[in-house]
Amino acid sequence: MSAPRVVAVADGSPAHAAGVSVDDVVVAINGEAPRDVIRWQLMVDGPDPVLEIERGGLGLTIEIDKDDGAALGIEVHSAVFDQVRTCDNHCAFCFIYQLPKGMRKSLYLKDDDFRLSFLYGNFTTLTRFTEADLERVITEGLTPIYVSIHATDPDVRSDMLRNRRGGTSLRWLRALLDHGVEVHGQLVVCPGVNDGDVLESTLIGLLDEYPELASVAVVPLGISDHSNEPTMRAHTRAEAETVVDLVERWQTIYLDRLGHRLAFCADEYYLLAHRPFPSAEVYGEFNMHEDGIGMARTFEAEFRGEVDTAVGVTPGFFASVDGAPAEGYRSPRLAGGVNGGMLAIRPSGRAPVGVLTSTYGARILEPLLAEIGRDDVRLVVVENRFFGGNIGVTGLLVGEDLQRTLASEPEGHRYLLPDVCLSNGRFLDGLTPDDLPRPVEILPTDGLALRRALDPNDRTKRVAA
């Protein structure tokens, strides 16, 4: 088991006052070696923790003067200090198997770790869950947890996961709910596999067997050109319409029986079916926003000025864990922080504006931009050739496709790019905004940021260096 390494110390924090430094390795806290940032949080939450530090090969003991419940002020290198529990399923629809070769090694890691589910909202199948894990979830109050269900029929689920424990592991879902753990579920619907009658059976099963679930996201299969699974294919429009109709019919039943709609189709389904999105009221508190449920409606409300702040919701406990590092797509979008690598300069305010977006994003943005009635603002739609297939979400845009698209766009225009396609200043293919042939203004991925960027009275835009 590795020990947590300090990557940042907050100025003025108890840790800073005690002399903790970046690159210190925390061997133990109050005599116990922490195994993950969850245990770390519990150990440092109390008053006056004692840290055993390794610094440059030397062992140090640092006593920290801190009130009970006060933040320690340390950020560590990872959320898990022992080995991440990897996934032992072999799902035909897994997107990790559909990635092109040659990307960053970390992108190919399949985790199935309940701790990362709690911390970041990652989905776990529970096939590697144990009695000890259940005890820890209960005793340490690790809630909410996010579970990939896919089907409530044990045989169908086992076949989909290609794991004989796929069906039996649903007992852990029942156990979590029995102990009052808040659980959000997910159904990845694959045409010809768990749609149609199987999906209806699953929606029945949710009500009969797992009515305590907080919410369930119904999302379509994403299929890239790099998939080697001949049975996996994209939905047709008719299939998407059938899924939307089925889920909306069951929402009425859930609302009557449970008092809430429980299951929600991802925005992508409405785009595939060429259906209008449900009203904002349907989504309630937008608990599954980060899984593509209600994103379009929140973006519209933000862009139209119907809300004063961005509505986006981050699942998991990450925001309140002292020291938990942002991981994956929750990392800072730009290297050096939210505004790192940015300059307070831009093309002329009178320059035409190109809003960079994906094929799906264009379907949402086109009517919104038409509302403002400006002929100097246009969409610049980027086709995702890097992944190919039916991949059309903005979060999977890469530098290579942006390079190709921007190369044919005029110089001197303002180009607005949503930050959702960046992590620590890099696109998924490893390129950076500096590699693009035109300077871009990188904006938070919400309607409020776009509205402000298009406001001609706001002269303080920020442009990538």
Candidates 392, 188, 390, 364; CA nearest to 276 is: 364
pLDDT in tens, 20-49: 999 999 999 999 999 999 999 889 999 999
Q: What is the pLDDT of residue 337?
A: 39
End-to-end CA distance of the chain: 40
Q: Dihedral angle at the C-alpha atoms of 227, 417, 120, 389, nearest 10 degrees?
A: -10
Report yes or no on 81 lying in a domain: no
Tokens 């504006």 locate to: 353
Residues 348 and 265 in one domain: no
**CATH (domain of 72):** 2.30.42.10
Using only C-alpha atoms, the chain has a radius of gyration, in whole angstroms, of: 23
Residues 336 and 460 in one domain: yes
Residues 372 and 456 in one domain: yes
pLDDT in tens, 295-332: 999 999 999 988 877 765 554 444 446 666 766 555 66
Q: By residue range, what is the domain housing residue 132?
A: 95-325
DSSP 183: E
Largest interatomic CA distance in the chain: 66
pLDDT in tens, 102-114: 787 777 888 899 9
Report yes or no on 117 lying in a domain: yes
- Sequence-distant (6+) residues with CB within 8 A of 160 are 91, 92, 93, 150, 151, 166, 190, 193, 194
Residues 109 and 59 in one domain: no
pLDDT in tens, 116-135: 999 888 999 999 999 999 99
Instruction: For the chain, give the mean pLDDT.
Output: 89
Candidates 447, 437, 440; CA nearest to 351 is: 440
Rounded CA separation 239/236 (Å): 5
Q: Peptide bond before 220: cis, by omega within 30 degrees of 0?
A: no
77-81, 271-275, 317-321: segment of lowest average pLDDT: 317-321
| Structure token digits, residue 412 | 């001197």
Residues 285 and 350 in one domain: no
Report yes or no on 1 lying in a domain: no
The H or E element that residue 220 is part of is strand 215-220
Per the CB < 8 A criterion, the answer to whether 31 and 100 are in contact is: no
Domain termination residue (choose one: 325, 352, 368):
325
Q: What is the pLDDT of residue 424?
A: 81
Indicate if the pLDDT at residue 336 is higher than 90.
no
Residues 122 and 150 in one domain: yes
**CATH (domain of 306):** 3.20.20
Residues 173 and 255 in one domain: yes
Domain termination residue (choose one: 282, 298, 325):
325
Report yes or no on 88 lying in a domain: no
Question: How many CB atoms within 10 Å of residue 386?
Answer: 23
Residues 198 and 251 in one domain: yes
Report yes or no on 157 lying in a domain: yes
Residues 48 and 163 in one domain: no
Report yes or no on 84 lying in a domain: no
Residue 33 backbone dihedrals phi, psi, to 5 degrees: -80, 120
Residues 359 and 276 in one domain: no
Rounded CA separation 293/287 (Å): 8
Domain count along the chain: 3
Report yes or no on 83 lying in a domain: no
Query: CA–CA distance from 223 to each of 69, 88, 227, 250, 392 (Å)?
Result: 46, 21, 7, 27, 10
pTM for the complete prediction?
Answer: 0.88
Q: Helix 295-303 crosses helix 359-372 at what angle (to 10 degrees)?
A: 30
Q: What is the pLDDT of residue 84?
A: 87
| Structure token digits, residue 197 | 């009658």
Of the pLDDT bands very low, low, confident and very high (cuts 50, 70, 90), residue 416 is very high
Segment 223-242 mean pLDDT: 95
Domain termination residue (choose one: 276, 291, 325):
325
Report yes or no on 85 lying in a domain: no
Residues 101 and 148 in one domain: yes
Q: What is the pLDDT of residue 317?
A: 43
Residues 146 and 187 in one domain: yes
